[in-house]
Structure 1
Amino acid sequence: MARTRYASDRGLTSRMLVTMFLLGLVYVVFVGAFFVFVPEWAVVALVGAGLFLLAQYFFSDKMTLFAMRGRIVSPREAPELHGVIDRICAMSDAPKPKVAIADSDVPNAFATGRNQKNAVVCVTTGLLRRLDPVELEGVLAHEMAHVAHRDVAVMTIASFLGILAGLITRFGLYAGLWGGFGSRSRDQNTGLILLAVVAASAVAYAISFLLTRALSRYRELSADRAAALLTGRPSALASALTKVTGDIARIPTRDLRSAQAFNAFFFTPALGRGVSVSSLFSTHPPLDKRLAQLSKISDQLSRGV
């Protein structure tokens, strides 16, 4: 991966390593136990989750664009948007990603792709209508920071255990519904084994869920910081955050629901007014925490720190 001028974040790197290590431990214990007690389920779930992981890793850019109805646009089609991306690339010395636009009134942006060579930065038409060029630059610098920090690849791999646990939980529930929980066959332990499978899978899923969400929140703060330092305009990014968050609250709930599946990728989550999400389960840190960090960076830049 090419080096960029984005500020390095040792905190993000250490959290990525710790999260992957802890998930690896849970994964080894989890899969090892199922290979001992129910090897046929473990093999099926492992193969299925592995195939999904490979597909998501290698085709995440195409899958996400398709789901969001985004399309790659040329400089001729979107000269102003490409101009902003070109400026960020010049400032960061990063390879230029593919540029896409999604036809959605939900004002947001996201980056996808396993590395800089395959990266795509996509903005919605709603975002383009609401932000001025300086604010848009802050948002796109944030998204390109995710690419520079390898966020997409790391989060894809980190989600593997959750996918595996979810598949095994589903298989176990299906087997129970088909008679496993009340089986009167010669193996009287079938029902207990199925219950153990579902319980263990649920625990593994919960652990992976909490770990990946904690990492996701920190990576958003890290991308905010990197973008603010790169552009030298933390106030522009703060303005974009405030404007986008406020406008999202006014989007019809029906439109928000179609976008909420992609909250982990978005610049800011698609949550309507009155929706309260526990900080423990959120993909993004609270708005006031992001604004406080940007305000601190602004003070540091003004003092030349």
Structure 2
Amino acid sequence: MKSRFRPDRGLTRRMLWTTFLLGLIYVVFTAVLIALLRSAFLAVVIAGGLLFTQYWFSDRIALYAMHGKTVTPDQAPELHGVIDRLCSLADMPKPAVAIAEVDVPNAFATGRSPTRAVVCVTTGILRRLDTEELEGVLAHELSHVAHRDVAVMTIASFLGVLAGLITRFTLYAGFFGGFGGGRGRSNGEGDNTGLILLAVVVVSAVVYAVSFLLTRALSRYRELSADRSGALLTGQPSALASALTKVSGEMAAIPTRDLRQAEAFNAFFFAPALAKGFSLSSLFATHPPLDRRLAQLGDIARQLGQEY
């Protein structure tokens, strides 16, 4: 079902290009593993099962992990009212609506399709934003739903999960003398086993790194796309900019422990929950820098003839 969210050809091209590259790497990766190990069946089956579970039950998993609970219109009339207006404006199915009792000011959308989607907001963001700012945030999240971002990112992350699993299995096998490592040392088979294990670890690590960087780059672009689509849908880019500024600033007041617990969900969040100090999030960000997002919203406001 098409929505009135403006199509983003740049996002579509990047999704297709990233999928193609990851698919190509996957084919090469599988061929190398089969050549080295004679069989990669177990790792593929396990990773495939994880992919299926993540894809099919992503809405339930995310809500459970964030302690989110679906709410009815009677329980949260204002929140439902905003989402009702935006879905009518976008001509898209209304997702389930949830609230997480968390002080970290944020929101996220999850679900494998627009008809199986959930939009969740935290109590922290509800307390801090006014109606127009909240509308901008929810338009951003509904854009993710309309563009099927969650499904695409889940599939795109499959190769990294597979590579990580195979790396672990190979290391465990090496530690415990797997693949015949304890036999045939007199004819050099033990040395060959060690080289094979090392080769698998190196190949898997390289594949993981490449897939990680590709999915992070796609993630950053899709956040810009959601900002752009949400701002154009509501016609109020300044409200979304205000929400971004307020949420990012309020993160500094959140206890570090709470931020670190939330960091695992940064790829889904409206704004990243970053604790102070060194972290992978600061090196390989899921979101573009705040000033980049604000600059884009400023350009949109000027295009609409608005002051910013």
TM-score (normalised: structure 1): 0.95
Aligned twin of 1:106: 104
Offset of residue 185 of structure 1: 2.6
SS at match of 2:119: strand
Offset of residue 280 of structure 1: 5.9
Q: Distance in 2 between matches of 1:277 and 1:301?
A: 37
Aligned twin of 1:224: 227
- Cα distance 1:108–1:286, how it changes in 2: closer, same or farther (>3 A)? same
SS at match of 1:179: coil
SS at match of 1:155: helix
Q: Distance in 1 between matches of 2:202 and 2:280?
A: 25
Q: Distance in 2 between matches of 1:131 and 1:28?
A: 47
1:122-137 equivalences in 2 (<5 Å) = 122-137=120-135
SS at match of 1:114: coil
Offset of residue 181 of structure 1: 10
- Cα distance 1:147–1:286, how it changes in 2: closer, same or farther (>3 A)? same
Q: Distance in 1 between matches of 2:174 and 2:183?
A: 14
1:71 matched to 2:69 = yes
Offset of residue 240 of structure 1: 0.3
SS at match of 1:302: coil
1:97-176 equivalences in 2 (<5 Å) = 97-176=95-174
Aligned twin of 1:265: 268
Letter in 2 for 1:132: D
Paired residues of 1:53 and 1:160 also in contact (CA < 8 A): yes
Aligned twin of 1:195: 198
Instruction: Give runs of ≥4 in structure 1 deviating > 2 Å.
Output: 179-185, 272-280
Offset of residue 279 of structure 1: 7.0
Which whole-Å deviations, capped at 9, do the CAs of 1:156-212 have from their partners, x for residues lacking one? 100110011011000011112213599453122111111111100000000100000
Which whole-Å deviations, capped at 9, do the CAs of 1:205-261 have from their partners, x for residues lacking one? 001000000000000000000000000000000000000001012211001111110
RMSD: 1.7
Q: Distance in 1 between matches of 2:180 and 2:118?
A: 50
1:1-305 equivalences in 2 (<5 Å) = 2-40=1-39, 42-179=40-177, 183=181, 185-186=183-184, 187-188=189-190, 189-273=192-276, 281-302=284-305
Paired residues of 2:260 and 2:275 also in contact (CA < 8 A): no
- Cα distance 1:280–1:11, how it changes in 2: closer, same or farther (>3 A)? farther
SS at match of 1:76: coil
Paired residues of 2:67 and 2:101 also in contact (CA < 8 A): yes
Paired residues of 2:267 and 2:286 also in contact (CA < 8 A): yes
SS at match of 1:269: coil
Q: Distance in 1 between matches of 2:30 and 2:220?
A: 27
- Cα distance 1:280–1:211, how it changes in 2: closer, same or farther (>3 A)? farther
SS at match of 1:284: coil
Count residues in correspondence: 302
Gaps of at least 5 residues in structure 2 are none
SS at match of 2:109: strand
Q: Distance in 2 between matches of 1:258 and 1:184?
A: 42
TM-score (normalised: structure 2): 0.94
Letter in 2 for 1:286: P
Letter in 2 for 1:112: T
Q: Distance in 2 between matches of 1:170 and 1:111?
A: 31
Gaps of at least 5 residues in structure 1 are none
SS at match of 1:110: strand
Letter in 2 for 1:59: F
Deviates most, 174-183 or 69-78:
174-183
